Amino acid sequence: MLDLSQEMEALVTAQTVDCSGFERNSCVAHRRSRLKRMALLADQGQAAGFGIWRGALLAAHCGLMRSAAQPRAIGRFQHLETDPGWRRQGLCTSLVDAVTRWGFQNWHLERIVLCADPNDVAIGIYQGRGYRRIGRTGALMRRATRDRLAAT
């Protein structure tokens, strides 16, 4: 398990390898802010971060969240990602297996859910581990002007 407060910069670096379409400084600031919130939730027992290190590099990582209102009911995967240099080596598959076991054993969850882009490789990793699609959701995002300019 990752110490989200202590390993914040490694996580920020890992999550900002690809900021394509976004202004880099804004992307880094957004990820850092999001990870700080996750670290606070981890301190409260509502989140946990997991990773696989290869030397000094955080090669793969993901988070697991749970509801404060129903802490034993449902967990949710958060941001499964592998460093580009370590992809297609089974790291995320191993991570999903380990985090799933950890959530059921340590938080006594009834189920774990996720939201993933149906066109992204992560959905295939989850489905390969036995997770199945039960619904669809949608979202809209409005980019900041500086991000639209960075994308052009």
Q: Which residues contact 1 (CB under 8 A, 6 or more apart)?
A: 48, 49, 50, 102
At 50 the pLDDT is: 92
Claim: this prediction has a pTM higher than 0.95: no
Task: Determine if residue 77 is left, alpha or beta; phi over 0 gives left, psi from -120 to 50 gives alpha, anything else beta.
Answer: beta
Contacts of 102-109 spanning 24+ positions with Cβ under 8 A: 102/1, 102/48, 102/50, 102/64, 103/64, 103/66, 103/75, 107/64, 107/66, 107/71, 107/72, 107/75, 108/72, 109/66, 109/72, 109/73, 109/74, 109/75
Per-10-residue mean pLDDT for the chain, 152 residues long? Answer: 74 71 80 86 91 87 88 86 88 92 95 82 84 78 64 52
Contact between 92 and 61 under an 8 Å Cβ cutoff? The reply is no
At 148 the pLDDT is: 59
Q: Which residues contact 32 (CB under 8 A, 6 or more apart)?
A: 8, 12
At 103 the pLDDT is: 95
Could you tell me how many helices (H) and strands (E) the chain has, helices first? 5, 4
